[in-house]
Copies of this chain bind each other. A is one copy, B any other.
Amino acid sequence: MSSPKSPLAPTALPNLPEIAGVIRRVARAGYKAWERSDLTFVELAPGTTVAGVLTQSKCPSPEVEWCRKALVLGQARALVVNAGNSNAFTGDRGRTAVEAIAARTAQHLGCAPSDVYVASTGVIGVPLPVDKAEAGLDAAFASAPVGWVDAAETIMTTDTFAKVATQRAVVGGRTVELVGVIKGSGMIAPDMATMLGFIFTNAAVDPAFLQRALAAANTKTFSCITVDSDTSTSDTVLAFATGAAGNPPLAGDEDEGADAFVSALSALCMELALLVVRDGEGATKLIEVTVEGAESDRSAHRIAMSIANSPLVKTAIAGEDANWGRVVMAVGKAGEPAERDKLSIRFGATQVAEHGLAVTGYDEAPVTAHLKGSEIAIGVDLGLGEGRATVWTCDLTHGYISINADYRS
């Protein structure tokens, strides 16, 4: 909010195409004492299909529970996003607020409440005020449409820059466009989803196929990022397909253009996920952790996450210190198969440890140069099998402490 823009923010925004059947409006509901829009209303054309991945938290927000139910039907006419109040852990009052938002939007559009998807982000434990939400919705209904970036800015909380991405694919002879907007900066350790991400495409896609494609992309993207190991109660990624491109609806892997669409969706998810890490609270370095030679991909992922979540590894990178001993520590604590004397570690392209001990007399200069950069690569080879995973995180700095020691005030 008041933090300066992350040094890892992209220098330019991409050109974003319009997606036929997607109309964005924003308004100021006033969930917090801030002078900015904080309610986003996206109207979707009749026939839009939807897929989603949601937090695995055992204490999910009522918005997450609402979306989980609605996704079974696979149809969507609207998305409403509230910023500044997550409405999580608010009991019956929270549920009532979500139902009121869905009802009012459904009445406005003449659709079923289950066609309305709702997501909220912000402080936990304060019921979303229904009067503010309803007044905000009415203001949004009456307002002029806005661009993608306005919508991306309206869903922000501690984010320091608006996060958008786009991809394109040829499907059944038609060029289809995909646009995604996402927010997230702290409380990022998505468990099958990240904080709030929304993807829109004009492709025609069967909801079951869209769900499979989104879940597969998620496994390699949103589920591979972490800022602080803290998993949100509100993590939500929804993908909406309006079908306006007029391609024959994608329903199976063998359909023409299915591969291209899945690839484009996956690339878009990757871009969005990395934007979140680049805006990690207090981040000054983007860190890519690759683990190879594990007994399985799953084991590699767990070890990579153990490294990416280690405060000691993250502070060492913040200090531009090639302290690979902390990487060994993080491998050792992961609880996954590992043999110390087969382990190799690299920073950037430089092998610093091999087969369980430091590489004798390795040149520290390229390592030091690599660590002074803003994109850091840590590689671990366990030497056990073919399992492989890559995850992304950021460094842990004074900025994270400053942001989080007085967030609620």
Q: Which A residues lie at the B interface, using CB under 8 A?
A: 55-60, 86, 88-94, 123-127, 186-187, 189, 191, 228-233, 309-312, 315-316, 318-319, 321, 323-326, 328-341, 343, 353, 355-358, 396-398, 400-402, 404-409
Contact = CB atoms under 8 A, between A and B. Distances in A.
Given A341-B91, A357-B93, A125 B404 contact: no
A55 B404 CA distance: 32
B312 A228 contact: yes
Number of copies: 2
- Main secondary structure, interface of A, reads loop
Contact of A124 (B228, B315, B328): B328
B59 A343 contact: yes
A231 to B, nearest CB: 4
A289 to B, nearest CB: 15
A332 B89 CA distance: 11
Given A91-B355, A323-B407, A343-B59, A329 B124 contact: yes
Contacts of A94: 357
17 contacts: A57-B329, A57-B332, A58-B332, A58-B336, A89-B343, A90-B358, A92-B357, A93-B357, A123-B325, A124-B326, A125-B325, A126-B358, A186-B312, A230-B312, A319-B407, A321-B406, A323-B407
A326 B409 CA distance: 14
A230 B125 contact: no
Nearest to A122: B325
A60 B339 CA distance: 10
A58 B335 contact: yes
